[in-house]
């Protein structure tokens, strides 16, 4: 049961990182007018990605404003998620193998 739960949480965090990266790239493509939100498919993908990433990105965007028009909050959130994934992995390893190894 523990392995399954670890796998699900790890996969969801990994998918969230991928969604944040795709959302950032999509916003750049829209900003540089490479793709257009008037296309229904592009609009639906953009809205889906926004609804998935907004709950995680909004608190960071409130704290860190855009710097020179560049939003660095996706980078901060991805770094925090990577730390969470490492901590989850270390916790799982210590539970499964009954050992404790410091992360650093």
For the stretch 15-62, pLDDT in tens is 999 999 999 999 999 999 999 999 999 999 999 999 999 999 999 999
* pTM score over 0.85: yes
Fill in the DSSP letter of residue 38. Answer: T
Distance CA 49, CA 46 (A): 5
Taking the C-alpha atoms of residue 95 and residue 93, their distance in angstroms, rounded to an integer, is: 5
At residue 98 the predicted structure's pLDDT band, cuts being 50, 70 and 90, is: confident
- Which tops the pLDDT comparison, 67 or 103? 67
């Amino acid at each position: 049961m523990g392995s399954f739960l670890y796998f699900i949480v790890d996969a969801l965090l990994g998918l969230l990182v991928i969604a944040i990266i795709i959302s950032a790239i999509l916003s750049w493509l829209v900003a540089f007018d490479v793709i257009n939100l008037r296309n229904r498919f592009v609009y639906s993908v953009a809205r889906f990605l926004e609804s998935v990433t907004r709950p995680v990105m909004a608190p960071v965007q409130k704290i860190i404003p855009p710097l020179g028009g560049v939003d660095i909050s996706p980078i901060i959130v991805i770094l925090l998620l990577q730390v969470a994934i490492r901590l989850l992995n270390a916790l799982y390893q210590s539970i499964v193998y009954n050992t404790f190894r410091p992360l650093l």
